[in-house]
Structure 1
Amino acid sequence: MSQEKIDIKDVTPKQFNPKTHKSSSDRFNPSSGIYVRQSKGTFQKLRRYGAWFLLALFILTPWISFGDRQAILLDIGNQQFSFFGTTLFPQDLTLLALLFVIAAFGLFFITTFLGRVWCGYLCPQTVWTFMYIWFEEKLEGSANKRRKQDQMKKTPNLLLRKTLKHLAWITIAIATGITFVGYFVPVKELVVDFFTFNSDFLPAFWVLFFAGCTYGNAGWMRSIVCLHMCPYARFQSAMFDKDTYIVGYDPKRGEARGPRSRKKDPKELGLGDCIDCNLCVQVCPTGIDIRDGLQYECINCGACIDACNETMDKMKYDKNLISYTTEHKLAGHKTHVLRPKLIGYGVVMLLMIGLFITQIATVEPMGLDVLRDRNQLARISSSGLIENTYTLKIINKTQQTQEYDLNVTGIDNLTWYGSQRVNVKAGEVLSLPISLGASEAELNKTITTIEFEITNSDGQVIKAESRFFKKL
C-alpha cells in the first residue's frame, strides 16, 4: 500500500466574533458573523443586472393573463397546469419530469464548464441574500461600520435603523411568499384575500411559511445555508475537473504577499503582486480566502475578482490576479474546453430538450377516458336490445369553450342513448354518462372491442378503447 499522504493545509480564516470581542477561527459557527463588504465591478454588475431581470420575471409572471385567466397557474387542487393557451393534466406530467431532467443536465453541463456560476449568479439564496445585504448597507452602513456598531451599546438611532431594516426584510419576505404561492393559487384573489384576512388556511399558511423561510435564510442564515444545508456544494466535485472554470488566485504571480508603497517595485522588495489588502476576503459572502486555493464554499460570484482588480488598478498592476481560470491554466498547462464529460452532458441535455419540444408539440388539445359501469355488465332494454352503460370523461385542454361530436365504432347499428354533441368549458373535465344498445344478432362474441371518438371543431379526433359485454 502506498504510504504517500496528501498534504493538508488549514484554510480556516480568522474572523471577528462580536459577542466575545475576540477573533474566532470557527467560520462554520453561526455566531461568527460575516460582514460582507460591498464590491463593485464588471462581475457584480453582471450578477446584479441578471438578478434584477430574474426577480422581475419571478414577480411579474403570475400577473400575466391569457384570456380570462392567469397565464401560468399550477392548480394542484384541480390537478391542472395552465400554460397560456394549454391546460395540462396529470397524464401530461411526463412533460414536468422531462423539464426536471433537462434542468438537472443543464446544471451538470454548466457546472462542468463554468463551475458554480449557478450559485453565484442565479441561485435564489444568493439573489435574496445580496438583496438583503443591500438594505443592510443602506440603513446601517458599510461592513466595517456594522461590525463596530454591533460591539457598541445600542442607541435609539441604531435601533431605529435596525427596525427599518427588518421591516424592509419582512416586506420582501411577504412579497416573496405571496408571489410563490401565486403560481399555485390565482394571485389576484390571493393578494386581496390575504390582506383582508379572508384567505383560506392553506394559502395563508404557505405564504407565511415561505415568507419565514425567506426572512430566515437571506436575513440570518445566509452562508450557513450554502455551507451546511445545500447538497450542491457536496456533490459538485463529481462534475469538476482540472478544466472547469473556477475563481482562482495565481500564486506564481501573487506570492510573496505583503504591503508596499505604490511607487516601489515589488520585485526589488522580493514581493509578488498581492499587497495582502484582504479585500478579497472582506467581499466574500461565504467568508473564505480564495488565495488558499479551491474550496467547496466558493460560489463563483466573482466578488473577489472585482475587489482585487480594483486594487490592481490603484497599484498600476495588471488585472486578474484573481480571475475565472482553470487548475490546468494555473499550473501552466492548456485548458481543454471540449472534453468527453462536457460533451456527454451536452448531448443528453439536447436530446432531452428535443424530446420535450416533440412532446409539447404533440400534446392533444382534448382528452377522452371511458369508464364502464362495473356494477352491471349488461342488461336488456325495454326494446329488447342488450345495453351497456359508460361514463365518458371529456377533457378540454384549451383555454376556450369547445364543442365536441361523439361517436362509437366496432359494432354495427349501435343505438346511442344520450347526447352526441356536448360543450365543454375551458380546462374542464366533463363527466358524461351514456348507454349503448345493440341487438344480439350484431354481437358475434361475448366481449366485443369498441372505440369511442370525440371530434372538435377543427376536425381533430381522439379515440379511447372500451368493451361491450353480451352476457348479463
Structure 2
Amino acid sequence: MSDKIPVKDVTTDKNEGIDLYSKREAIHTRSYKGFFKNIRLAGVAFLFLLFFGTAWLNVGDRQAVLWDLPARQFHIFGATFQPQDFFLLSFLLIICAFGLFFITTFAGRIWCGYTCPQTVWTWIFMWAERVTEGERNARIKLDAAPMSANKLLRRSAKHALWLAVSLATALTFVGYFTPIRGLVVDLFTLNLNPWAAFWLFFFTAATYINAGWLREQVCFYMCPYARFQSVMFDKDTMVVTYDYNRGEARGPRKKGVDPAELGLGDCIDCTMCVQVCPTGIDIRDGLQFECIQCAACIDACDEVMDKMGYERGLIRYTTEHNMAGQKTRVLRPRLIGYGAALAIMIGMFIVTLSNMAQVALDVQRDRNVLYREARGGNIENVYIIKVMNKGQEPRTFNLSVEGHPQLSLEMQASRLTVEPSSLLQVPVNVQLAPEYMQGTNMPITFVVTAVDDEGISARSESRFMGPTLR
C-alpha cells in the first residue's frame, strides 16, 4: 500500500488522439450537509453582506466607498485619496499576494474553495438550478427530456434568477464607481448615461456567462492560480485527500458487515464524493489541479461513514507527512518566510497610511513670466498654489513662504478656506529686494498650516528667479 498522497496520472499515450475542443459535459451536483458546507455558507453570507452592503453605506453626505474617477478622488470611509496616493494600491496588491502564498503553503487552495468570487457565484447559480429544476437526478432527466412546457418554464425561471443575480452584482460593482443610489434610480427610469449602461451590461453578461455557463472551465483553463499553486505545496501542506490505505479495496456491502471479511476497505464505492464535486473530479484518483479544495467530498463521505457506522475521515484535510505516519511541521522555512514578508508589508502599509497628511500642497511657477520688477524695485515671481483638503470637514489654512527673512507674500485673501475633499487653486506673488538675491535663482519653500491644528500642514519647494547679478 502507498504511504503517500496519490497523484493522478493524466499523461496519455503519444499515439492517442486528444480532442482539444471537446464539448463540456454538464456537472450536476447533489445536495449534501456538513461542517465544511456550514463554514462556507457563513463565509459567503459575510462576503455578500460586505460586497452588497458596503455600497449603500454613507459617511456624512457621501457614499462611504466611492471611486470617483471623473473627479480623480477615491473616498474610503471618510478618507479621500488622490491619484498621487495610488502607490498604496501597490502595498495592498503585495499584501494580497503574500497572503495568498502564505495560506496556500499552509492549507492549500482555501481561497479557491471558500472565497474566490468565481466559486462563490457558481454555488449561488447552482442553488438557483436546484430551486427551479430540482435535485440532481431531476436535472439530469430534464436535460435528457425533449422540450416541453414544463422544461421551458423551469429553464426560463432558472435563467431569470441567473440574470437577476448577475444584474444585482453588476449594479453593485458599478455602484462603487458611480453613486449607487442615483444609479439605481437612473436604471429604473431608463435614464442611464451610455458609459454606465455599457458597464452594467458588460458585468451582467460576464457574471451570467462565467457563473452560469463556464463555471469550472474558468478554473481549469482561464485561472493561472490552478497552474502555479502546486509550486507552493510541500509535504506539510494541508490538502483534501482520500485515505487510500483505509479505503481500498472499494466495493458495496450491507451495513453491519465487517469489510475485512469481504477483503474490502471502508470505501463502499457510492461515488457520493464525485456527485457533490463542483468540478466533477474523483478525489479517489489522487491530488489533481482541478480540485479547488471546497471539502464538499469530505462532508458527503462523512455522511456515508456515519450511516455505515464507520469512523469519519476517509476523505479529509491532511498532509503527505501525516499520511506517511510522520509528524506534520507547521512552522517551516517557507511558511515563516511568507509570514514574515506579509507582516512586514502590513506594518509598512499601516505606518504609511497613518502618516499620510490630511492636506496636500502643490506649487507651480508661472512659466509665462520668469520674473518681473514690481513697484519699489522689488523682484516679483508669480506662483499657482494648489491646496488639497483630504479631510471630511472644511478647513482654513495659513500660507507662508520660507527661504529668506525678507521674502514677502501677496495674495487676494489672507487665509485659504478649502471645502472637504476639494482642491483650491489661487495665484500668489512673492517679492524680494534685489540686494537680497542669492544668485539668479534661490530655493524657497511654501508652507500651509491649518488654523485650528498646527499639526495639519504641508510643504512644497520651488525656486525664486531674479536678474543676473552685476
TM-score bucket of the superposed structures, by smaller chain: over 0.9
Q: 1:465 Cα shift?
A: 0.7
CA distance 1:136–1:372, change in 2 (3 Å): same
Q: How big is each residue's C-alpha offset from its partner over 1:224-269, in whole Å with a ceiling of 9 and x where there is no partner?
A: 0010101100110111111100000000000000001112110000
- Partner SS, residue 151 of structure 2: helix
| CA 1:11–1:157: 2 relative to 1, 3 Å | farther
Distance of aligned partners of 1:28 and 1:228 in 2 relative to their CA distance in 1, 3 Å threshold:
farther
Q: Which amino acid letter does the alignment assign opposite residue 9 of structure 2?
A: K
- Report the Cα offset of residue 437 of structure 1: 1.6
Structure 2 CA distance for aligned equivalents of residues 181 and 9 of structure 1: 44
Q: Which residue of 1 aligns with 2:453?
A: 458
Give the Cα separation in 2 of the matches to 1:87 and 1:397: 5
**C-alpha separation between the residues in 2 aligned to 1:350 and 1:178?**
35
Distance 1:9 1:443, change over 3 A: closer
Asked whether 1:62 is paired with 2:55, we answer yes
Partner SS for 1:257: coil
Partner SS for 2:259: coil
Cα distance in structure 1, aligned partners of 2:382 and 2:313: 77
- Please tell me whether the aligned partners of residues 7 and 285 of structure 2 are also in contact (alpha carbons under 8 angstroms): no
CA distance in 2, matches of 1:204, 1:105: 36
Cα distance in 2 for residues equivalent to 1:11 and 1:158:
40
CA distance in 2, matches of 1:7, 1:359: 45
Instruction: Say yes or no: does 1:428 pair with 2:422.
Output: yes
1:199 maps to which residue?
A: 192
Q: CA deviation at 1:10?
A: 4.7
- 1:467 maps to which of 446, 463, 466: 463
**Match of 1:286?**
279
**1:176 and 2:169 equivalent?**
yes
Q: Is the 8 A contact 1:412 1:442 kept in 2?
A: no
Identity of aligned residues (%): 51
Structure 1 unmatched ranges of 5 or more: 1-5, 13-24
Structure 2: segments with no counterpart, 5+ residues: 1-5, 13-17
The reply to whether residue 232 of structure 1 matches residue 228 of structure 2 is: no
Query: Partners in 1 of 2:33 and 2:163 — Cα distance?
Result: 26
- Kindly report the root-mean-square deviation, in angstroms, between the aligned alpha carbons of the 2 structures: 1.8
Which residue does the alignment assign to 1:145?
138
Distance in 2 of aligned mates of 1:70 and 1:149: 46
Is contact 1:50-1:121 (8 Å) kept?
A: yes
Rounded to whole Å, the distance in 1 between the matches of 2:444 and 2:79 is: 29
Q: Which residue of 1 aligns with 2:3?
A: none
| Matched residue, 2:208 | 215
Deviation at 1:8, TM superposition (A): 7.1
1:443 aligned to 2:437?
yes
Taking structure 2 as the reference length, what is the TM-score of the superposition?
0.94
Distance 1:84 1:7 in 2: 47
The aligned counterpart of 1:365 is 358
Selected match of 2:147 from 149, 154, 161:
154
Q: Distance in 2 between matches of 1:450 and 1:129?
A: 60
> Residue 84 in 1 paired to residue 77 in 2?
yes
More deviation in 137-146 or 324-333? Answer: 324-333
The one-letter code sitting in structure 2 at the alignment partner of 1:218 is A
Q: TM-score, normalised by structure 1?
A: 0.93
| 1:411, distance to aligned residue in structure 2 (A) | 2.4
Q: What is the alpha-carbon distance in structure 1 between the residues aligned to residue 257 and residue 363 of structure 2?
A: 86
List structure 1 runs of 4+ shifted beyond 3 angstroms: 6-12, 25-30
Q: 2:15 aligns to what?
A: none
Q: Equivalents in 2 of 1:189, 1:89: separation in Å?
A: 23
* Cα offset, 1:30, TM superposition: 4.5
3-state SS of 1:368 partner: strand
Distance (Å, rounded) in 2 between the aligned partners of 1:117 and 1:30: 29
Structure 2 CA distance for partners of 1:129 and 1:26, relative to 1, 3 Å:
farther
Q: What is the DSSP-based 3-state SS (H/G/I as helix, E as strand, rest coil) of the residue aligned with 2:261?
A: coil
Name the aligned partner's letter for residue 102 of structure 2: F
> Contact 1:407–1:420 at 8 Å: present in 2 too?
no
Deviations 1:27-47 (CA, angstroms, capped at 9, x unpaired): 984531111112211101110
Aligned equivalent of 2:33: 40
Q: Deviations over 1:54-84 (max 9, x none)?
A: 0111001011111110111122222211122
Q: In the TM superposition, what are the counterparts of 1:3-42 in structure 2 within 5 Å?
A: 9-10=9-10, 29-42=22-35
Quote the Cα distance in structure 2 between the aligned partners of 1:186 and 1:394. Answer: 26
Q: Tell me if the contact between 2:8 and 2:287 (Cα under 8 Å) persists in the aligned partners.
A: no
C-alpha distance in 2 between matches for 1:363 and 1:230: 36
Structure-1 separation of matches of 2:256 and 2:32: 25
- Give the partner amino acid of 1:228: Y
Secondary structure of the equivalent of 1:388?
strand
Q: Distance in 1 between matches of 2:116 and 2:159?
A: 22
In the alignment, the residues of structure 1 paired with residue 211 and residue 84 of structure 2 have an alpha-carbon distance, to the nearest angstrom, of: 37
| Cα distance in 2 for residues equivalent to 1:301 and 1:47 | 8
Look up the SS of the partner of 2:100 in the other structure: helix
Count of residues in Structure 1 that have an aligned counterpart in Structure 2? 455
In 2, Cα distance between the equivalents of 1:438 and 1:130? 71
